[in-house]
Structure 1
Amino acid sequence: MDKLAALQALFAEMDSALVAYSGGIDSTLVAKVAFDVLGDRALAVTADSPSLMPEDLEDAKVQAAEIGITYEIVNTHEMDNPNYTSNPANRCYFCKSELHDTLKPLALERGYPYVVDGVNADDLSDYRPGIQAAKERGARSPLAEVGISKLEVREISRSLDLPWWDKPSQPCLSSRFPYGEAITPEKLQRVARGERYLRQLGLRNLRVRSAGDTARIELPPNDIQAFVAATDLPTLVAAFQDYGFTYVTLDLEGYRSGKLNQELTQQPPLVESR
Structure 2
Amino acid sequence: MNIQEFFETNNKVALGFSGGVDSSYLLYAAKEAGADIGAYYVKSQFQPQFELDDALKLAEHVGAELKVLECDVLSEPKVASNPSDRCYYCKRHIFGAVADRAAKDGYGVLIDGTNASDDAGDRPGTKALGELKVLSPLRDCGLTKDDIRALSKEAGLFTWNKPSYACLATRIPEGEEITDKTLRRIEGAEDVLRMMGFSDFRVRKRGDIGLLQIPECQMVSAVKLNEEIVLGLKPYFKDVVLDLVGRRR
User: Could you say which TM-score interval applies, normalised by the shorter chain?
Assistant: over 0.9
Shift of 1:228: 0.5
Shift of 1:250: 0.5
- Report whether the alignment pairs 1:163 with 2:155: no
Contact 1:15 1:113 in 2 (8 A): no
Distance in 2 separating the partners of 1:66 and 1:222: 31
One-letter amino acid matched to 1:253: V
Uncovered stretches (5+) of structure 2, i.e. residues with no partner = none
Q: Which residue of structure 2 aligns with residue 255 of structure 1?
A: 247
Q: Which residue of structure 1 aligns with residue 178 of structure 2?
A: 183
- Report whether the alignment pairs 1:222 with 2:217: yes
Distance in 2 separating the partners of 1:195 and 1:84: 22
Identity between Structure 1 and Structure 2 (%): 32
One-letter amino acid matched to 1:50: Q
Could you tell me which of 230, 241, 251 is aligned with 2:234?
241
One-letter amino acid matched to 1:94: Y
Shift of 1:126: 5.5
Cα offsets for 1:37-74 (capped at 9, x unmatched)? 234x1111100011110111011101101011121000
Matched position secondary structure for 2:22: helix
Uncovered stretches (5+) of structure 1, i.e. residues with no partner = 258-274
Paired residue total: 249
Matches within 5 A, 1:25-174: 25-39=21-35, 41-125=36-120, 127-174=122-169
Contact 1:64 1:71 in 2 (8 A): yes
One-letter amino acid matched to 2:210: A
Matched position secondary structure for 1:235: helix
Distance in 2 separating the partners of 1:34 and 1:159: 16
Distance in 1 separating the partners of 2:169 and 2:231: 24
Q: Tell me the TM-score normalised to structure 2 length.
A: 0.95
Contact 1:19 1:44 in 2 (8 A): yes
Shift of 1:10: 0.6
Distance in 2 separating the partners of 1:68 and 1:166: 21
Contact 2:38 2:102 in 1 (8 A): no
Matched position secondary structure for 2:54: helix
Matched position secondary structure for 2:134: coil
Distance in 2 separating the partners of 1:11 and 1:217: 42
- Root-mean-square deviation (Å): 1.4
Contact 2:20 2:159 in 1 (8 A): no
One-letter amino acid matched to 1:59: D
Q: Tell me the TM-score normalised to structure 1 length.
A: 0.87
One-letter amino acid matched to 2:239: Y
Misfit runs of 4+, over 6 Å: none
Distance in 2 separating the partners of 1:18 and 1:125: 22
